[in-house]
Amino acid sequence: MADPLIIKICGIKTLDMLDATIAAGADMVGFMHFQRSPRHVTIEEIGSLISAARGRIETCVVLVNPDNSCVAEVAALGPDWIQLHGPESPHRVEAIRAEAGVEIMKALPIGSAEDVAHVADFVDIADRILVDAKPPKGADRPGGLGETFDWSLLKALDPSIAFMLSGGLTPQTVAEAIKTVRPFGVDVSSGVESAPGVKDQRMIEAFIRNARAAV
């Protein structure tokens, strides 16, 4: 039997939506600490969310090119994961992992065969790899920004590399993505929102239901 699919709902901002996401059967929730994001939450808010989630679901704090003081501040809250979503080098990822003492997920934007080739640089350094769509040129923040990428690029990836898939997934596309790409997990943010930063409980439930049915 295959391992169960890991489903991460990212960009949770409120305790109510945290509870709804847990009730819907997600495995992980992500909290975004990056001011340019419509999903940004403060350190104080993240602390409350992590406390409410502890023992119920795995928590992940998403950071973009954080400095050491930000890493220390977040690590002190006791999340299960820190997700690095900026242009961090393998050396920097290694340093953050050592300093934080928290498992590290590294998001890697995929837009070309060259991007796929770089994934291997992080495999032994990060605890988990998340492949995401490359942001459009001139975007003011990283991430897929609701766009998918050409999944066929991932055929060039070493099959021994396990990864989670992100980038433009929705309740309508997640089943096809899982069947095509065969990731061990999926991550969604804008694809389960009614407006930027506003999660929709019914969309979260549909996303999880459709993802589970595809495995």
* Statement: residue 146 has pLDDT above 90: no
Tell me, what DSSP letter sits at residue 197?
T
Q: Check residue 1 and give its pLDDT.
A: 36
Q: Where are the beta strands (DSSP E) in 74-122?
A: 81-84, 103-110
Q: What's the CATH number of domain 6-214, 3.40.50.1820, 3.30.450.40, 3.40.50.880, 3.20.20.70?
A: 3.20.20.70
* Statement: residue 141 has pLDDT above 70: no
Strand 28-32 relative to strand 58-63: parallel, antiparallel, unpaired? Answer: parallel
Residue pLDDT, tens place only, 95-114: 999 999 999 999 999 999 99
Q: Check residue 140 and give its pLDDT.
A: 57
* Statement: residue 34 has pLDDT above 80: yes
For the chain, the average pLDDT equals 93
Q: Is 173 exposed, middle or buried (0-12, 13-18, 19+ CB in 10 A)?
A: middle
**Around 212, how many Cα atoms within 13 Å sit in the side-chain half-sphere?**
11
* Statement: residue 144 has pLDDT above 50: no
* Statement: residue 118 has pLDDT above 60: yes
Instruction: Band the pLDDT of 148: cuts 50, 70, 90.
Output: confident
- How far, in Å, CA of 110 to CA of 114, rounded? 8
Range from 16-20, 137-141, 195-199 that averages highest in pLDDT: 16-20
Residue pLDDT, tens place only, 50-72: 999 999 999 999 999 999 999 99
Confirm whether 70 is a catalytic residue: no
The residues that bridge with 10 in the sheet, in sequence order, are: 30
Q: Check residue 142 and give its pLDDT.
A: 53
Q: Check residue 134 and give its pLDDT.
A: 81
pTM listed for this prediction: 0.93
For the record, the structure tokens of 130 come out as 């998340």
For the record, the structure tokens of 92 come out as 């920097």
Confirm whether 132 is a catalytic residue: yes
Tell me what the mean pLDDT of segment 159-171 comes to: 94
Q: Are 157 and 167 in contact (CB under 8 A)?
A: no
Active-site residue (options: 3, 10, 127, 158): 10
* Statement: residue 15 has pLDDT above 90: yes
Q: Check residue 201 and give its pLDDT.
A: 97
Which residues have C-beta within 8 Å of that of residue 31, sequence separation ≥ 6?
11, 12, 13, 41, 45, 46, 49, 50, 59, 60, 61, 62, 79
Could you state, in order of their start, the residue ranges of all structural domains in the chain? 6-214
Instruction: Band the pLDDT of 4: cuts 50, 70, 90.
Output: confident
Q: At what angle do helices 68-75 and 43-53 cross, to 10 degrees?
A: 30
Active-site residue (options: 3, 121, 132, 140): 132
* Statement: residue 145 has pLDDT above 90: no
* Statement: residue 147 has pLDDT above 80: no
